Chains A and B, each alone.
Chain A
Amino acid sequence: MTDSTKLIVSHAPFYRDACTVMKRSYLIMAAALVALIPGWFLFGAPAVGVSALAVASSIFWELTANTLMKQQPTIGDGNAAMIGLILSMLLPATAPWWMVITGTFVAIIMSKIAFGGIGGNPFCPPALSAAVLTVSWPHLMNFNGMLVNYDMAWSMVDPLINVKFFGAETASLYPPLELLFGHQAGGIGAVCGAGLILGGIFLMIRGISSWEICLSFLGGVFVAAFLFNMSNPDLYAGPVFHLLTGYTLVGAFFLATEDSSSPVNLIPMLIYGFGGGMLTVLIRNKGVWVDGVLFAVLLMNLANPILDMIRPKALGKV
């Protein structure tokens, strides 16, 4: 039966969906850019510098790790660049260079490579890194620090700080439309609500970020903020304010949905997202930190393995 024409063999399936890890990373980066570009315009060259340095140093760290561990370089999948870009969304434009490089070191080496690389990280790398930076250099991650450097036509006091320490009526300084267009102090990619929402919708309809997590996260923020606001409107700002300030939108679309640290089954996704949203507002209103998104996401990451055990029964199992 055999003859000399040797054919190639492989295992089924012989059709493969065209989506790859690389494409996924690039699409996420494209969505992130929609929110970042307005930020670059608002904060100017230093902001562009922070983003560029974050991406470059992320790739550098991953390549270094690959070389040291004698592995095939994995930077080609775009994941390192993506982590760098998302991290830069969270940083203030005034972040010094050494902080950016430390940040990407934490994100790539300590929260990804140390856990076995892509798919193994229990925490969302940019969130973990930003949280480490916030705890280590609170004054540098404080967006009021930007006050001295920028003189804008709108209030450059961090809206969350204002509301936390000066009461809910200061929220009226920040009309939602202004917040949507990025007229606030905050992370480079976190200020422009409209860009984030557009990017987020793009990711959700392409099936890259689970819509279940995004929407339930926002739902959680809305419900918790609404309840607080109802209980004491003088002290606690309303839900729309909470949705559009701080890291809420970045958290919902880019951090909470990070693949390896988020659940994949329906009910766990809803609990995870909703829980993250509630925690965010809880920390903002009751905790010592100004913004709760990072800690809320990390806490839910911690719960992820347990949450994901809630899953539908497999076919034909009793």
Chain B
Amino acid sequence: MIRRSFFGYLAAKLPYETVKGGLPDPVDTALPGEVTLQIQVGTDQKSLVDKKKTALKKGVEVQRGALYGLFDEETKNVSAPVSGTITSVETRTGNYGRHFALINIATSEEGETSPAFSDALEADTKGTESLAFLSQLPGRPPFTRLANDGIHTVILSALEQDLLTNVNQYALLARKTDFKRGADYIKELAPKARVVLALPKYLEAEAQDTGCETVGIKNLYPNGNPILLAGRLAGKPIEAGKTLEESGFLLFSAEAVAATGKALRTRSLPQEKLVTLTLKNKETRLVNARIGTPITQIFEAAGETLVKRDHLIVGGPLTGVSVYTPNFPVDPDTDAILCHGPENMPRLTDTYCINCGKCVRVCPANIPVNLLIRMLENGLYEEAVEKYDLDACVECGLCSFICVAKMPLFQQIMLARHTLAESKKSAEMGGSND
């Protein structure tokens, strides 16, 4: 899968999947008996969940397509992908100490979908209520932030976030009319912003009739990275350490745009997520799964069973996360799921950096990773930012991919960035008290 040139002085070429071989036919998975919804929560909210002080709790009935608030009725942040009864609300702690609330729902018969969304559209197609619904679509489109005045460019991206998936290219081609409807809607919502469709070069001709300004981009990793993409569209890199939104960009994945179009057309929320599965024998399958479906079930539909000591990765081979249970759910932004046996576990070592310089050659952000890692290993995070540009990292994982010493570079980098972000947050909170 990885084509590594014999000529090592050339960087490894990591092409994204394409849909050049014809559009795949997505496999539909059956309606799951239980779904799980994940919501990232802060530490204080985590204790609320642990003390069972949430609005959504065991025994509450939910209706498909309706919006609920996890903690109160006001901030609605959960859309039920199925009708059923909540069986439990728990928490889990993910990478770098991030907390998630998990809402488990036992599915009842596929009943009526809630009319709430079409009512909201009826009242005001562009109202806050409608946008709150649309934000729950597959791909998690950032509709609620479109109203922000600082946004000057909206990127509709048909590039993928990671290798081994082609869901966005598929969505652009197979759902073109819905995509166009969705894109037009976004243009109406942000009349002053430049709306650009970024897509792999080979699709440029196909996208003529979407009516969008298009920018063709080489279909090589990490060109689909949001920060790199924004820099390319703006003609200059976005300032190190700033988020996309702070720099005036928003990114909608092609799948999210198409889902928006479909939602407006059918007046109900699409809740099927496109996911590329990679099986143990390296075959890939495109599946269409209800949000919240446990991953085991999807693999079962594809004829693969997960056993103890397997490796299950959600989100792609370079930037994804590996999960500890096959019952992990499909999130609205899960594009790729791959599994492999223990024999394919990437080897990590605790040897030192040998200063070969490969990471420096490959880093799209020009970071001196060889020096940076020496700081990070010793926990000198502040120094890493000041002298070695930790804040410019675009989180692509290439340095770790290429590292000759097989050091956990990416893990160290991500840990440092999260630790710094956390301490910044708590400093701000402390500051607002006085």
A262 CB contacts on chain B under 8 angstroms:
355
**Residue of B317, B327, B342 touching A15 (CB-CB under 8 A):** B317
Q: Give the docked Cα–Cα distance between A5 and B163 (Å).
A: 27
**Residue of B1, B342, B389 touching A317 (CB-CB under 8 A):** B389
User: Taking each of B322, B326, B354, B368, which has the highest tally of chain A beta carbons within 10 Å of its own beta carbon?
Assistant: B354
Q: How far is the CB of A97 from chain B (nearest CB, A)?
A: 30
| Number of B residues, CB within 8 Å of A | 82
Contact across chains for A21 and B405 when beta carbons are under 8 A apart = yes
Q: Give the docked Cα–Cα distance between A77 and B10 (Å).
A: 24
Q: Does B12 have its Cβ within 8 Å of any Cβ on chain A?
A: yes
Contact across chains for B306 and A5 when beta carbons are under 8 A apart = yes
Q: Give the docked Cα–Cα distance between A205 and B10 (Å).
A: 9
Write 15 A-B pairs (CB below 8 A) sorted by A numbering: A1-B92, A7-B310, A7-B322, A10-B348, A15-B1, A20-B406, A74-B351, A118-B351, A118-B352, A119-B355, A207-B10, A265-B357, A314-B240, A315-B240, A315-B364
User: Which of B66-74, B135-143, B392-400, B423-431 lies at the interface with chain A?
Assistant: B392-400
Contact across chains for B389 and A10 when beta carbons are under 8 A apart = no
Q: Give the docked Cα–Cα distance between A21 and B358 (Å).
A: 12
Contact across chains for A5 and B404 when beta carbons are under 8 A apart = no
Contact across chains for B392 and A5 when beta carbons are under 8 A apart = no
Q: Does B298 have its Cβ within 8 Å of any Cβ on chain A?
A: no
Q: Does B90 have its Cβ within 8 Å of any Cβ on chain A?
A: yes
Please judge, given known A-B contacts A3-B327, A20-B404, whether A12 and B318 are in contact too, CB under 8 Å.
Answer: yes
Contact across chains for B355 and A260 when beta carbons are under 8 A apart = yes
| Number of A residues, CB within 8 Å of B | 50
Q: Does A232 have its Cβ within 8 Å of any Cβ on chain B?
A: no
Q: Give the docked Cα–Cα distance between A189 and B402 (Å).
A: 31
**Residue of A11, A24, A120, A264 touching B360 (CB-CB under 8 A):** A264
Q: How far is the CB of B415 from chain A (nearest CB, A)?
A: 9
Please judge, given known A-B contacts A1-B327, A264-B370, whether A16 and B401 are in contact too, CB under 8 Å.
Answer: yes
Q: Give the docked Cα–Cα distance between A87 and B319 (Å).
A: 42
Contact across chains for B352 and A116 when beta carbons are under 8 A apart = yes
Enumerate chain B interface residues (CB-CB to A < 8 A).
Answer: 1-2, 4, 6-10, 12, 36, 90, 92, 95, 102, 104, 163, 231, 237-242, 294, 306-313, 317-329, 338, 342, 345-348, 351-358, 360-361, 364-368, 370, 389, 392, 394, 397, 400-406, 408, 410-411, 414
B294 CB contacts on chain A under 8 angstroms:
1
Contact across chains for B351 and A14 when beta carbons are under 8 A apart = no
Which residues of chain A in 1-50 are interfacial with respect to chain B, using CB atoms and an 8 Å cutoff? 1-3, 5-21, 24
Please judge, given known A-B contacts A259-B355, A313-B366, whether A15 and B6 are in contact too, CB under 8 Å.
Answer: no
Q: Does A299 have its Cβ within 8 Å of any Cβ on chain B?
A: no
Q: Give the docked Cα–Cα distance between A39 and B231 (Å).
A: 54
Contact across chains for B328 and A314 when beta carbons are under 8 A apart = no
Contact across chains for A1 and B104 when beta carbons are under 8 A apart = yes
B347 CB contacts on chain A under 8 angstroms:
16, 20
Q: Does A69 have its Cβ within 8 Å of any Cβ on chain B?
A: no
Please judge, given known A-B contacts A8-B309, A11-B411, A315-B365, whether A17 and B401 are in contact too, CB under 8 Å.
Answer: yes
Please judge, given known A-B contacts A8-B345, A15-B318, A119-B355, whether A312 and B366 are in contact too, CB under 8 Å.
Answer: yes
Please judge, given known A-B contacts A12-B320, A118-B354, A119-B352, whether A7 and B12 are in contact too, CB under 8 Å.
Answer: no
**Residue of B163, B319, B351 touching A77 (CB-CB under 8 A):** B351
Contact across chains for A6 and B313 when beta carbons are under 8 A apart = no
B342 CB contacts on chain A under 8 angstroms:
8
5 nearest A-B residue pairs (beta carbon): A207-B8, A264-B357, A314-B389, A316-B240, A315-B365
Q: Which residue of B lies closest to A212 (CB)?
A: B9
B367 CB contacts on chain A under 8 angstroms:
314-315
A306 CB contacts on chain B under 8 angstroms:
none
Q: Does A318 have its Cβ within 8 Å of any Cβ on chain B?
A: yes
Q: Give the docked Cα–Cα distance between A313 and B237 (Å).
A: 11
B95 CB contacts on chain A under 8 angstroms:
11
B397 CB contacts on chain A under 8 angstroms:
12-13
B308 CB contacts on chain A under 8 angstroms:
5-7
Which residues of chain A in 190-234 are interfacial with respect to chain B, using CB atoms and an 8 Å cutoff? 204-208, 210-211
Contact across chains for B346 and A15 when beta carbons are under 8 A apart = yes
B358 CB contacts on chain A under 8 angstroms:
19, 207
Q: Which residue of A lies closest to B397 (CB)?
A: A13
Contact across chains for A204 and B9 when beta carbons are under 8 A apart = yes
Contact across chains for B36 and A316 when beta carbons are under 8 A apart = no
Enumerate chain A interface residues (CB-CB to B < 8 A).
Answer: 1-3, 5-21, 24, 74, 77, 116-120, 204-208, 210-211, 259-260, 262-265, 308, 311-318
B10 CB contacts on chain A under 8 angstroms:
207
Q: Give the docked Cα–Cα distance between A206 and B1 (Å).
A: 20
A8 CB contacts on chain B under 8 angstroms:
309-311, 322, 342, 345
B323 CB contacts on chain A under 8 angstroms:
7, 9
Contact across chains for B312 and A7 when beta carbons are under 8 A apart = yes
Please judge, given known A-B contacts A2-B327, A315-B392, whether A7 and B354 are in contact too, CB under 8 Å.
Answer: no
User: Taking each of A7, A205, A207, A263, which has the highest tally of chain B beta carbons within 10 Å of its own beta carbon?
Assistant: A7
Please judge, given known A-B contacts A1-B104, A5-B307, A316-B392, whether A10 and B346 are in contact too, CB under 8 Å.
Answer: yes
Q: Give the docked Cα–Cα distance between A11 and B324 (Å).
A: 12
Contact across chains for A17 and B4 when beta carbons are under 8 A apart = yes
B346 CB contacts on chain A under 8 angstroms:
10, 13-16
A211 CB contacts on chain B under 8 angstroms:
9
B321 CB contacts on chain A under 8 angstroms:
12
B318 CB contacts on chain A under 8 angstroms:
12-15
Q: How far is the CB of A54 from chain B (nearest CB, A)?
A: 21
A207 CB contacts on chain B under 8 angstroms:
7-10, 358
Q: Give the docked Cα–Cα distance between A56 and B394 (Å).
A: 45
Contact across chains for B368 and A6 when beta carbons are under 8 A apart = no
B320 CB contacts on chain A under 8 angstroms:
12, 14
Q: Which residue of B lies closest to A204 (CB)?
A: B9
Known A12-B400, A17-B401; further 17 A-B contacts with Cβ < 8 A: A1-B36, A1-B104, A2-B327, A7-B309, A11-B414, A13-B400, A24-B356, A204-B9, A206-B7, A207-B358, A210-B357, A264-B370, A265-B360, A311-B368, A315-B231, A315-B366, A316-B365
B239 CB contacts on chain A under 8 angstroms:
316, 318
User: Taking each of A1, A311, A315, which has the highest tally of chain B beta carbons within 10 Å of its own beta carbon?
Assistant: A315
A264 CB contacts on chain B under 8 angstroms:
355-357, 360-361, 368, 370
Q: Give the docked Cα–Cα distance between A205 and B163 (Å).
A: 27
Q: Give the docked Cα–Cα distance between A315 and B313 (Å).
A: 29
Q: Give the docked Cα–Cα distance between A16 and B14 (Å).
A: 12
A6 CB contacts on chain B under 8 angstroms:
308-309, 324-325
Q: Which residue of B lies closest to A264 (CB)?
A: B357
Q: How far is the CB of B96 from chain A (nearest CB, A)?
A: 10
Contact across chains for A120 and B352 when beta carbons are under 8 A apart = yes
Q: Give the docked Cα–Cα distance between A7 and B1 (Å).
A: 23
Q: Give the docked Cα–Cα distance between A205 and B5 (Å).
A: 10
